[in-house]
Amino acid sequence: MGEKMKNNSIKKEISAYDNAMKQLKIAADKLKLSEGIYEYLSHCARIYIVSLPVVMDDGEIDVFTGYRVQHNDVLGPCKGGIRYATTVNLDEVKALAFWMSIKTAVVGLPYGGAKGGVTVDPRKLSKKELERLTRRYTSAIIRMIGPHKDIPAPDMNTNKQIMAWFMDTYSMDVGETTLGVVTGKPVELGGSLGREEATGRGLLYVIEKMHEKKGFKLDENCTVAVQGFGNVGSTVAILLYEEHNCKIIAISDIKGGIYNPDGIDPIKLKEHEQKTGSVVNFPGTKSITNKELLQMECDLLIPAAKENQITEEIAKGIKAKMIVEGANGPTLTEADKILDKKGINVIPDILANAGGVTVSYFEWVQGLENYFWDLERVRSELKRILLIAFDRVYDLAEKEKVNMRTAAYMVAVSRLAKAIELRGIFP
């Protein structure tokens, strides 16, 4: 869900998993969680690391490293995306798997959390090389996955075509077409309508609800800065522009950022980005850095790139009135404290960007039943589930006088802890 930003202030030693554990500890302390349950949730259930030899187009063999981590399956089969990126490592995948456990619990889905990835730059592979890599990766983790065990989905640099190869490889192995083994597939192969827009549309729903709660207006006077212009960032920017006429003043991607105080048309920008491969050099805009975008004066800041973007240093200069996290884990715990002191409203990733996994759940259900929904039903059910979750988190935050992230974690951890207590520890 996003792209890596250029930011010299982000240091390599920052551990995404350590940051995730700090967030867990805050909620555990608030809930007075037992030490045993805390220890249970602070460990991943299963970790696979696999070597993936692939015959390249020139006949040579390259070996890639792949990962699949299942954090917890106490609420149901594991669920989580697969990303292809040079930055993929075990620490990152563990953190993302943990956040999926929390995210599915926040919105009440019968899932546990998982995540996977391959350390590779997919832009350097041909389509055939990408297919061979995907099929090899699928085969390597095939004992770990299944429609009732672990259901992967697209994430950063993966898409519906890769999910189609994934589904086909699994189906060939088990001897029958198995639609429910993966979500984010093409509609022609059992994918769900509304899946590609789901995370961005879910962001829109929670943004609308938060503005309603806080008495803010979403209109032509609302200024928006979006970090990351992949599927999530571009979708929410276009929806805010089309449905509320919001003024999108800054957008960035992996190659740089652009700014226009009078507003940027995200629809035309998407066309430019598809032609040139980047948002940079869009007519009528000036270049800005990632730091300038994050610290820009605006009503709404949407980090939709990658984890660890809002550091303590960045947070000190943030001027946005509201932050809605489209990416997973974009804000460090130390930065959260600064944002709290500033009175900046933050809708956390585990609630804000849960639209993707929610519609993935719909796709999984449709695939198991071989009965498919229309787009209106998908959007209606998505909105219903997200707003129920939003109200639960918001009300708890008000009651306990904590921020939305802590409240969301409290909701999720309470649900996980209750399930652990009811199931007991085997044997």
Q: What confidence tens digit (pLDDT) does each residue in 329-345 have?
A: 999 999 999 999 999 99
pTM of the model: 0.92
CB 136 within 8 A of CB 52: yes
Does residue 122 have a cis bond before it (omega within 30 degrees)? no
Query: CA nearest 413: which of 70, 72, 69?
Result: 72
Q: What is the DSSP string of 276-297?
A: HSSSTT-TT-EEE-HHHHHTS-
pLDDT of res. 108:
97
pLDDT of res. 14:
77
* Residue 117: Cβ within 10 Å count: 28
Q: Which residue has the tokens 């918001």?
A: 394
* Residue 148: Cβ within 10 Å count: 10
Q: What is the maximum span of the chain, computed from C-alpha positions, in angstroms?
A: 65
Q: What confidence tens digit (pLDDT) does each residue in 371-384 have?
A: 999 999 999 999 99
CB 309 within 8 A of CB 11: no
Residue 276, token pair as written in the block:
């040139």
Is 115 annotated in the active site?
yes
CB 388 within 8 A of CB 108: yes
Q: Say which of 115, 185, 247, 321 is annotated catalytic.
A: 115
pLDDT tens-digit profile, the chain (427 residues)? 344 344 444 445 678 899 999 999 999 999 999 999 999 999 999 999 999 999 999 999 999 999 999 999 999 999 999 999 999 999 999 999 999 999 999 999 999 999 999 999 999 999 999 999 999 999 999 999 999 999 999 999 999 999 999 999 999 999 999 999 999 999 999 999 999 999 999 999 999 999 999 998 899 999 999 999 999 999 999 999 999 999 999 999 989 999 999 999 999 999 999 999 999 999 999 999 999 999 999 999 999 998 889 999 999 999 999 999 999 999 999 999 999 999 999 999 999 999 999 999 999 999 999 999 999 999 999 999 999 999 999 999 999 999 999 999 999 999 999 999 999 999 9
Question: Which class would CATH give 16-27+43-181?
Answer: alpha beta
What does the chain come to in residues? Answer: 427
CATH 3.40.50.720 maps onto the chain at 198-347
DSSP 96: H
64 CB-near residues (< 8 Å, 6+ apart): 51, 52, 54, 118, 119, 120, 133, 137
CATH 3.40.50.10860 maps onto the chain at 16-27+43-181
364 CB-near residues (< 8 Å, 6+ apart): 79, 147, 151, 180, 183
* Architecture of the 198-347 domain: 3-Layer(aba) Sandwich (3.40)
pLDDT of res. 13:
62
